[in-house]
Structure 1
Amino acid sequence: MSFFALLETICASMAFALSFMAICLLALRRDPNGIYRPLIIFFSANAFIEAVSVLDAFPEYGYFENLSQIAEIISIPAFLLLAPALWLYVRGLTSETRLALTKSDGKHFIPFILGAIACSLLLFSPASIRNQIIGDGDGPDTAWIISITLMIVFIMLMWAAQVIIYIIALLHRISMYRTRLKDVFASTEGRELKWIVWMIVLLVATIFIMLPDLFISFSELIEFIPSVFNVILIWFLAIWGLRQMPGFIALGASELPVASDQTDNLSAFQSSATKYEKSALTENDTSRIAKKIEAAMEENQLFLDANLSLRLLAKHVSVQPNYVSQTLNGHIGETFFDYINRWRIDYAKPLLANSDETVLNITYDSGFNSRSSFYKAFKKETGKTPTAYRSFAKSKA
């Protein structure tokens, strides 16, 4: 076994261990919302794939060669479970309701079923045919062998297309989810799922290296790189996936509400114009609600609550949350996130200009719960950092 082959085996063993550990932790974890169940599917499929990679390190032993060959065939459909499982997990994290799998979700598993059928034909073929297709065997290219070979190639291409489609879908989902977060929360730290974006970037890099290797033989060093990326990817998902809470879960609540039709809340990801076109609110209604919101800010300084959400604001002004959201987006012209942060920044400006309080203290006094979010929002609103604004204000005094 060469040096890089040994490192590949070590990486596969590490990825298998991480996946197995994650499966055990997920199996013991209370999951009333069903969000983490797709992760069990993902890690189970990946653990099997990594186990096959470890078996491939012992082809010189007849027993392992036969076992590895059978396991390799069975693992092919497992690849087709990874992307759908990841998608269902992210969908659960970004949904506003507790979702159950429906009949329409069966479409996500069609590639897996097709792959399982094709690989079953190969698995139950004579050993000589299996060895000729995926091993070192030799023989005439019969119609049966050509057919199965073409099916396996088709599955590989289908897997590549599947991954690309789901990557695009995941990026779109997260983008719309972040937009929706700003309609609901004044602070989005810990909810933005930045780690998933970095994981997708790593996945894309891995695919760009792996796909050509299916058709072109590269050096062992280049073939080793995807193994390293894969370990990092599994580590990312094992660590962050287990600790990430659903973005829309209510503070202090143990469960998300259940959708009445058990379907995804797509309205949460629509544009404002589409969302409110059937609303019963009139212009007078939105003006009245806007005055209530302004009073809550001016008189009660509700924006100073670091945990303020759309639901809490709606409860304070005794108006339904969707009507408050419509008023903010349609009448006032700002998302909840931007509206509350504008009030916080207006509150922070005189503190920066007329006091010697530290920027960190002013950050928390103004309702922000992190220095980074304060700096980002302040610069977006004023074009200056809080420190630069303080220096500018004091120089004018």
Structure 2
Amino acid sequence: MRNPLSKRIVEIEPSGIRKFFDVVNEMEDAISLGVGEPDFDTPWHIRDEGIYSLEKGRTFYTSNAGLKELKVEIAKYMNRRFDLTYDYEHEIMVTVGGSEAIDIAMRAMLDPGDEVLIPQPSYVSYVPCAVLANGIPSIIELKAENEFRLTAEELEAAITPKTKLLVLPFPNNPTGSIMRRSDLEAIAKVILEHDLFVLSDEIYSELTYGEEEHVSIASLPGMWERTITINGFSKSYAMTGWRLGYACGPRVIIEQMLKIHQFAIMCAPTTSQYAAVEALRNGDEDVAQMKEEYDGRRRYLLHRFKEMGLECFEPYGAFYMFPSIRKFGMTSEEFATKLLEAEKVAVVPGTAFGASGEGFVRISYAYSLDDLKKALERIEKFIVTL
């Protein structure tokens, strides 16, 4: 019998995040700090709108690109939050989560042999999506001494004549690092000089802490026309299971992305789209309240890490910490495995997000403060034994 499988698919490694999550599900009295999912319920007024849409029988396909009302609200949101202007009819499309937007953007933009620059540590989907789109992933290893920000020098050194697309994953999963305006201005010069395009994954944009707000690279001079901005509702509105994201960018790219979406997906879930309209119209206060809670947890973890002597730079984005475990003389995988076995606490090895994550583990603080306190007590107990 002939091999039924694609060699390219077989060679793609499964997600390193799910491994520990699956184990902890079978373990009694275990605490998982491994999954990047808000512990908040979707706010009631957003859920109500989804329920109401079902009661009204709004269960049919929407336009392939999404509900007009939703695209209009997305355009308003992008303008008021990030000073970006998009035509809702031709420059915005609604997707099944931000992950679909990443996938179809790469498929729409890459030809075989095109290089995709992917800073790591970063979200696990970028490399597989580049491979599936016939692109060639080229990894830029971010450095702890730079707080895992991408520098203009690192970008310049990675560019070749085949480079076409840069993935910009900030605020970053798994490190929590962010790019300030000055950081973005520096790399924008390099991008313009080499005529590159940017896939800017800004799913955590609302979860930016400190005095400076999130800045989208598309808002910088010369960058709008070469940037696809990815965002969604999972993280900021606690709507992971609703599976809704969106992409904004130049019409010439969005139209081709929409073509793939038409054939592969048809449209995003109708109920989720109606709920998302309510989220954008009346959800700012919900986002602010959740952000304040996350920030309190962030500061608590930094305090506890300092108490137990666990080295960690201060992250200003998302809901992750990326402490160093190098001094314990173990690989990230060994540390995470032994911690799970000894104290029933699940964290994710840094290597799940690329080789440059070696020596670190990802800890999510998208969990209640009570759970975080219990988990940190167990982690401290484990560290003492080392």
What TM-score, normalized to structure 1? Answer: 0.23
Select the structure of larger CA radius of gyration. 1
What TM-score, normalized to structure 2? Answer: 0.23
| Structure with greater strand share of residues | 2
| Structure with greater helix share of residues | 1
